[in-house]
Chain A
Amino acid sequence: MDIFLQQILNGLVLGSIYALIALGYTMVYGIMGLINFAHGEVVMVGGMVTVTVVSALLGMGINLPALALILIGVMVAIPACMLLGFTIERVAYRPLRNAPRLAPLITAIGVSIVLQQLAILVWGRNYIPFPPILDHDVVEIFGASITKLQVSIVVLCFVIMTALLVVVEKTKLGRAMRATSQNPAVAGLMGVNVNTIISTTFVIGSALGAIAGLMVATNYEQVHYYMGFMIGLKAFTAAVLGGIGNLGGAVAGGILLGIIESLGAGYIGDLTGGFLGSHYQDIFAFMVLIAVLIFRPSGLMGEKMADRA
């Protein structure tokens, strides 16, 4: 039972990070119908920048409390990623808005490769450890343990996700975003500046990505130029699982996927009599994805959509 609860808690931490990244995918997909393959790389840049800034501050002998250091780091990372997201949309996606759907997908892959290679240029190919400022105090919940850091990751994720939902549902900007996602042409006729809205969506998504990057970095205590790829893919899976284009769905999908994954990794050995081990963790996301798309192609919370070829 302890193990079960422990896996649920691990899954919750992982899942809230997935959810935060999934929001970035789902917002862009909802508005433009485009898989922003480069979003995982934005997350990676966010993590890299945070780690670099924190290390640099420590290197200069500035001994602030850990929280303040991380806060400064992420305050640099967020604008950096926002700028990155804005540039990606402007350069790689906007000119192709009316092109056949394969074209933006290929540019997205191209941008993703370019960002990875630039990251190698700047930060090298090795894993960069997070500076040893994190505390590892453990909280016990019914026999399962979770670090305070992980608790704060989950809490922060929920705060941000709630804030985003409020923005999208209650503000004028949110209304414009929803209108654009339903029909850009008509939204334009109603006085919505579609280009600005799309840029804003990318910028918001990238800011969330930067925060997610920080969380990945603190959770695994290391960053790497390739870290955005797998986590981006899984977050996309989470977005599809919840019903792509649906913000609440992305959150639910992310958390569900995180829990499925950690339960799966925890129990697959017992279930298959030791034939498959926990190193098969990564296949669960894809198995879930395939199953969802077969049995409920619109996702758990998605509305029935017309065919999007």
Chain B
Amino acid sequence: MTVSVTTTPPANGKKVLGFLASAIILAILPFVVGNAFGNSWVRTLDFALLYVMLALGLNIVVGFAGLLDLGFIAFYAVGAYTFALLGSPHFGIHLPFYITLPLGALIAACFGLLLGTPVLKLKGDYLAIVTLGFGEIIRIFLNNLNAPYNLTNGPQGVNLIDPVSVGGFSLGKTHEFFGISFNSVYMYYYFFLALTVLVVIMAWRLQHSRIGRAWVAMREDDIAAAAMGINIRNIKLLAFALGALSGGVAGGLFASFQGFISPESFGLLESIMILAMVVLGGMGHIPGVILGAVVLTIAPEILRDVIGPLQMATFGKMIVDPENARMLLFGLALVVMMLVRPEGMWPSKRRKAEFDDAKKGH
């Protein structure tokens, strides 16, 4: 009797083709977008990639491990401030990015542990509110640590942060390759894309590893998981630390890309925005989360361009200021989405099944 065991599926022609196609699309995307709509939209693409990294980081905590975190932006802030303070005229220190970026990620991970340790026993809403408080504490400190010793420069923030550069080759400048000129936003696009791919691979590998399965087990039933020999404390802390790590990387990138950071960028609303990306996309499902992050970054920008002219066209004057209308629509979208499709835009099969169960009233 022969048993054929295929450990790896045979190289699927369609899969390879799809992979190549998406690689090509991602590679030429900034040129298409830049030529059609202008460089500010390439900038939006850069931000979309940043948010993909952030959302994937939060997805480890919320989606994989089932720990509701409303203060995720704190890790982003820690990464950004580490990068900014070690690479700006504020202290006159100019360390290269390959030191500050990992350092920022590492410090963010430590903050993840710092948050994770006291809340090990908390669940659900309690955890949400404590993490929210943690995020606010970090923001309040960033806002006020300008006196008596000026660490963060307070509400004014840190300015003139070094762009990412290696030996004189700076992503902050325009470069020419093969006769094509690459603006700074294009340079950053490819840099962010590379790191995003890394984060996606990390998340993917984690999800399908022993750790990932342990997270799922803990999410479903922590007591049963503990009985199966899973060390709940360690994998919880690991989830917080790894989530924070991605947040820290994204924070450092944000600081270098923007060149300026202030505590204002790290408020509760940002935390909610990232959580919304994860939840609206499809918690725990990597493609869903990526979709959520991209949609929630690009849609508001489109609205920004559309709302004003649309009002002028229909009413002949501005009735609602666009920023206001944008947030109003965001709030409504959160509510409507949860009422109509609580499992998210693109949920995993497993999650979908859970929601269908819940609808039947189990």
Contact = CB atoms under 8 A, between A and B. Distances in A.
Interface of A: 33-35, 91-92, 95-96, 98-107, 109-114, 116-118, 120-121, 229, 233, 236-237, 240, 274-277, 279-280, 282-283, 285-287, 289-290, 293-294, 297, 307-309
B334 A109 contact: yes
B335 interface: yes
A240 to B, nearest CB: 7
Given A99-B355, A104-B338, 12 more contacts: A33-B125, A35-B128, A35-B129, A96-B338, A98-B358, A103-B342, A107-B335, A107-B339, A109-B276, A113-B331, A121-B320, A293-B130
A100 B335 contact: no
Interface residues of B, number: 46
- The prevalent SS among residues of B at the interface is helix
A47 B139 CA distance: 27
Nearest to A110: B334
Interface in B88-146: 118-119, 121-126, 128-130, 132-134, 136-137, 140-141, 144
Contact of A289 (B133, B144, B327): B133
B354 interface: yes
Interface of B: 68, 118-119, 121-126, 128-130, 132-134, 136-137, 140-141, 144, 147-148, 268, 272, 275-276, 279, 283, 320, 324, 327-328, 330-335, 338-339, 342, 354-355, 358-359, 361
Given A35-B129, A286-B136, A114 B122 contact: no
A275 B130 CA distance: 25
Contact of B334 (A107, A237, A280, A290): A107
Nearest to B332: A114
Contacts of B125: 33-35, 101, 105, 308
Given A280-B140, A283-B140, A101 B124 contact: yes
Contact of B338 (A106, A112, A118): A106
A279 B144 contact: yes
A247 B267 CA distance: 31
Q: Of B68, B134, B268, B342, which is in contact with the most chain A CB atoms at under 10 Å from its CB?
A: B342
A194 B272 CA distance: 31
Query: Shortest 6 CB-CB distances between A and B: which pairs?
Result: A110-B334, A113-B331, A286-B133, A114-B331, A110-B335, A117-B328
Central interface residue in A95, A113, A114, by most chain B CB within 10 Å: A113
B43 to A, nearest CB: 25
Contacts of A240: 126, 129
